[in-house]
Amino acid sequence: MALAIFPLLAFFPFNWVEFSWGFQHRHVSMPPQVAQKAEMVGRYVLWLRNGLVVVAVLGFAASQSLRRSQIGLVLDGWQRNSLIGIAASLLPLSLQGMFRRRYPVPDTEDNHLAAEPATNWIFSQLLSVLAEELWMAFCIVSLIQTGHSVATAVILPATVFGALHFRYGSKAIGTGITYGAVSACLFLWRGSLLPSYLMHYIRNVGALYFARRGDRSPFSEPK
């Protein structure tokens, strides 16, 4: 049940504008005014979806008599945990920056993220990352309490999390490992969501920065 929370809510609620257009017109591209409306609705749906994940996780945790501190909602040692989370994000971001300068990505990979309003992205990620990390911690605790090994408690949620990013293709593997397994290990090590939350959030904001910075392929057409 713990593992199913996020996959179920990842597809519901859905963007009814996109669904309605796809159902009626199939492969016909949406006109600009419809696409703009779908984009606006999508932002509200994302907030609603992540809010439902947080509510569902907290509700299931309460039904299992889990204290909030058991799923990482604790501020003990916040200074050290903050430093660990920031350090865990800066190393991969630095490596990503060096890699992108050496091997620029094609235009199409970052077009969607680069077009995202920066303010909306930065603020929406506050809730989105909380929902994902809270779900991860709840899965880990639930699996361990039901007799599964620590390795299983790390690998299963990380695998599900990576699979939910199927739209990124092969990048889903890296997503599952980085945001899944590493986040799980940070939670098990520190007993707090703060390190994994900061790592995840800073890396997501970093993705927006790289997309807007325009580290493009030298073979792409100038704009």
Q: What is the per-residue pLDDT for 108?
A: 47
Q: What is the per-residue pLDDT for 216?
A: 44
The answer to whether residues 139 and 71 touch, using CB atoms and an 8 Å cutoff, is no
Least confidently predicted of 94-108, 127-141, 169-183: 94-108
Mean pLDDT, range 139-146, rounded to an integer: 95
- Give the confidence band of 209 by pLDDT, cuts at 50, 70, 90: confident
pLDDT at 54 over 80: yes
pLDDT at 28 over 70: yes
Mean pLDDT, range 74-82, rounded to an integer: 95
Rounded Cα distance between 137 and 53, Å, is 13
Q: What is the per-residue pLDDT for 139?
A: 95
More confident residue, 74 or 217: 74
As given in the structure block, the two tokens for residue 66 are 């889990």
Least confidently predicted of 53-62, 68-77, 106-115: 106-115
- Give the confidence band of 170 by pLDDT, cuts at 50, 70, 90: low
Alpha helices (H) in 12-149, listed in sequence order: 16-25, 32-63, 78-102, 107-115, 118-145
Alpha-carbon radius of gyration of the chain: 19
Residue located via tokens 């920056």: 97
Any residues with CB less than 8 A from the CB of 129 and at least 6 apart, and which? Answer: 197, 200, 201, 204
Q: What is the per-residue pLDDT for 121?
A: 85
pLDDT at 51 over 90: yes
The answer to whether residues 100 and 213 touch, using CB atoms and an 8 Å cutoff, is no
Q: What is the per-residue pLDDT for 217?
A: 38
Rounded Cα distance between 139 and 203, Å, is 22
Rounded Cα distance between 182 and 158, Å, is 9
> Which of 94-108, 144-158, 165-179 is most confident?
144-158
pTM to 2 decimal places:
0.84
Rounded Cα distance between 63 and 213, Å, is 46
